[in-house]
């Protein structure tokens, strides 16, 4: 193996393993939060207000005396759950509309893609604020809102794959064998377009976590008392000068999680894209 090929393989698999490690650690911490948490994340202790990190409170405490380590662990559950569910919603919408637009083309394609263009004309934050005004502010609504405002890129990606795949020989053979449109779309075209969709989903989880954190930081995300990394950050903003740990640890959690999903998505793209030299 040449030195250049060795460096290329190490770079691809190194990024993949690092991404999997970061993502796995955060997912494991979220799943095991009830066992890893050292305190009740809602318990207030007036004798432990704004304590710095130490043996009793690994990440310190907040202005109400609550253990920050436990709150970050439970915040991981909320933030990751929002990321997974919202991406699931966006994938469901984007894949379905993209397959229909790319396979049937013509008027159906024009209507769907013009609707995508209209959705892309509006800033995502404006759409989110508008939907929150109608649906209200809750965990379920936040997941629905992020999913409903982030499916357009997936739709375009799947449409492009469907336009290319619909002219392949195995699709013509499926039509001649009597397969209907739903079977062709979901049994033949979708599996062959799965690689770019998987990469998009991985990167979408990172984007959804960042968006939820931003919404919570602005006060329109996850409601109190449920902790998320975003609303833990906004609680630490008021005491940043005297309690740096309130912003550092949830910020690091967001950074490492988003970095992990981005590295995983980039590595999967390099490994699954046949146009990139192996």
- For 37-100, give the secondary structure using H, E and C: CCCCCCCCCHHHCCCCCCCCCCCCECCCCCEHHHHHHHHHHHHHHHHHHHHHHHHHHHHHHHHH
* Exposed / middle / buried, residue 32 (Cβ in 10 Å: 0-12, 13-18, 19+): exposed
Side-chain-side CA neighbours of residue 275 (13 Å) = 3
78 assigned to some structural domain? yes
- pLDDT tens digit string along 123-134? 777 777 777 777
* Residue ranges for the chain with pLDDT beneath 50: 1, 3, 6, 277
* The pLDDT of residue 12: 62
> Are 256 and 27 in contact, with CB atoms under 8 Å apart?
no
227 assigned to some structural domain? yes
Where do we find the tokens 């979408």? 204
Distance CA 140, CA 85 (A): 9
43 assigned to some structural domain? no
Distance CA 75, CA 58 (A): 16
* The pLDDT of residue 4: 52
278 assigned to some structural domain? no
Angle (CA) 21-257-238 rounded to 5° is 145
The partner residues of 67 in beta bridges, in order of sequence, read 61
**Under DSSP, is residue 119 helix (H, G, I), strand (E, B) or coil?**
helix
Q: How many domains does the chain divide into? A: 1
> Are 233 and 190 in contact, with CB atoms under 8 Å apart?
no
171 assigned to some structural domain? yes
Q: CB atoms < 10 A from the CB of 219, how many?
A: 12
Helices 229-237 and 245-272: crossing angle in degrees, nearest 10, is: 140
* The pLDDT of residue 112: 92
Q: Mapped to the 3 state alphabet, what secondary structure does 154-222 carry?
A: HHHHHHHHHHHHCCCHHHHHHHHCCCCHHHHHHHHHHHHCHHHHHHHHHHHHHHHHHHHHHHHHCCCCC
156 assigned to some structural domain? yes
Quote the domain boundaries for residue 253. 3-38+53-272
Distance CA 32, CA 199 (A): 27
Distance CA 222, CA 241 (A): 25
48 assigned to some structural domain? no
* The pLDDT of residue 1: 47
CATH number of domain containing 201: 1.10.3720.10
107 assigned to some structural domain? yes
- The total number of residues shown for the chain amounts to 278
- pLDDT tens digit string along 182-232? 888 888 888 888 888 888 888 888 888 888 888 877 777 777 778 888 888
């Amino acid at each position: 193996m040449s030195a250049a090929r060795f460096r290329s393989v190490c770079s691809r698999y190194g990024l993949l393993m690092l991404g999997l490690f970061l993502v796995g650690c955060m997912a494991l911490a979220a799943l095991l939060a009830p066992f890893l948490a050292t305190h009740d994340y809602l318990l207030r202790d007036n004798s432990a207000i704004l304590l710095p990190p130490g043996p009793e409170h690994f990440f310190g405490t907040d202005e109400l005396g609550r253990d920050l380590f436990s709150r970050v662990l439970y915040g991981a559950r909320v933030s990751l759950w929002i990321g997974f569910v919202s991406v699931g919603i966006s994938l469901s919408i984007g894949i379905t509309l993209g397959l229909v637009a790319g396979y049937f083309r013509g008027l159906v394609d024009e209507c769907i893609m013009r609707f995508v263009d209209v959705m892309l004309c509006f800033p995502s934050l404006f759409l989110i604020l508008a939907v929150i005004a109608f649906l209200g502010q809750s965990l379920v609504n936040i997941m629905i809102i992020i999913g409903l405002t982030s499916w357009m890129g997936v739709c375009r990606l799947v449409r492009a794959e469907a336009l290319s795949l619909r002219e392949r020989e195995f699709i013509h053979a499926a039509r001649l064998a009597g397969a209907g449109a739903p079977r062709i779309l979901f049994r033949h075209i979708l599996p062959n377009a799965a690689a770019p969709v998987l990469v998009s989903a991985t990167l979408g989880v990172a984007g959804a976590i960042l968006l939820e954190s931003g919404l919570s930081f602005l006060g329109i995300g996850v409601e109190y008392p449920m902790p998320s990394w975003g609303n833990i950050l906004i609680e630490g903003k008021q005491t940043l000068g005297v309690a740096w740990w309130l912003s550092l640890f949830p910020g690091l959690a967001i950074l490492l999680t988003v970095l992990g999903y981005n590295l995983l998505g980039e590595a999967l793209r390099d490994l699954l894209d046949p146009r990139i030299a192996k």
